[in-house]
Structure 1
Amino acid sequence: MADDEEVALYDESGEVVGTAPRSVMRARNLRHAASSVLVRDPLGRVYLHRRTTTKDVYPGLLDFAAGGVVLAGEDPAVGAVREVEEELGVVGVPLEPLGVADYADDHTRYRAFRFVVTWDGPIRWQPEEVSWGEWVTLEELVRRLDAEASTVVPDSVAVWSGIVRSWLTGAA
């Protein structure tokens, strides 16, 4: 990942309105887009991983979605494929789109393009981004979201919690 790659900037309605270097987007907390890919195995478990302590946003926290910023001129679905391959080594399987969700806090503001993928191959961590990981059941993931919320990245919780909980209850 280039530290100062050009990223797409989005307005509140989800339209691309320009570009900026990643460093400027982060420094000014400019609204952008990001892919967010939840990886499940054939048993329905979710891959939970720890972000490295060198990540620019939420370093060292647990995450249950792979993803990253949408680059300038990049289709969000293409970015999702790129990110899940880079971070976890998931390649050659179709991603299912699950809509968009908006997120904002003091560290980041973006439109999340959500995808889910079922993967039964090996997980291969990108050393710059992932320091640890394991498959967890939906029950275990929801338990961690409820009991250990401060250890999980808040944006993934915000954009995925409703879907994960609906899977757990069988409502989806």
Structure 2
Amino acid sequence: MGKRGRKKKDSPEGMLLEMLEITDQDGNVVGLLPRGQIHEQKLFHKAVHVFLFNPEGKIYLQKRSRLKDENPGKWDSSASGHVSPGEPYPVAARRELKEELGLLCGLSEVGRLPASPETGYEFVVLFKGTTRKSPKPNPLEIEEGRFVDPAELEEWLAKKPQDFTPTFRLLWEKFGKQPVPRKH
């Protein structure tokens, strides 16, 4: 077990047994269940996504590992993951960025999405940050990753929306056009 009672995400079995908070339709915590059961029963729960940009304004996209139980092999936000029991959203965002890309940088909250079938029944909080450092993708989480110019991303999304997770498509449509935080 890792910090805060999290099962380490070092195997598909560990991922399914990870304990997460379930919420009501308003996002209030009502209990704890294993991740696999939450996904199977389509219960509301909490997640974070991070849009990481380089100083040139390109966004880092990750292609999810084919071992993932949700959206394997799809392109997604720079980093994303579930919020651990009792963990504040900003802490979860920093943890996921470190776990998935080996990076830490300043993050700011951009917006929120309500839980829905498109988000996998997750209440999603999106954060943005900028870094000059090169991401080091965790091979257990990420098949590949790269920085993409937003105009190129718009074209890719228009031509092949099926390449991306439903949550990423929603987040980019709603929040992707906002100004990129600049690192001085």
**TM-score normalised according to structure 1 size:** 0.90
Structure 2 SS opposite 1:77: helix
1:148 shift after superposition? 0.9
Q: How does 1:46-125 map to 2 (within 5 A)?
A: 46-91=59-104, 93-105=105-117, 108-125=120-137
Q: How does 1:17-32 map to 2 (within 5 A)?
A: 17-32=30-45
Q: Is the 8 A contact 1:103 1:155 kept in 2?
A: no
Q: Is the 8 A contact 2:118 2:167 kept in 1?
A: no
Q: Is the 8 A contact 2:44 2:115 kept in 1?
A: no
More strand by share: 1
Q: How does 1:120-135 map to 2 (within 5 A)?
A: 120-135=132-147
The equivalent residue for 2:19 is: 6
The equivalent residue for 2:46 is: 33
Q: Which amino acid aligns with 1:142?
A: E
Paired-residue identity, %: 29
Deviations 1:136-161 (A, max 9, x none): 11101111111110111111111232
Structure 2: 5+ residue stretches without partners: 1-8
Aligned residues: 167
Q: Is the 8 A contact 2:75 2:165 kept in 1?
A: yes
Runs in 1 of length 4+ with deviation above 3 angstroms?
165-168
Q: Which amino acid aligns with 1:25?
A: I
Q: Which amino acid aligns with 1:155?
A: T
**TM-score normalised according to structure 2 size:** 0.84
Q: Is the 8 A contact 1:112 1:159 kept in 2?
A: no
The 2-side partners of 1:32 and 1:160 are apart by: 21
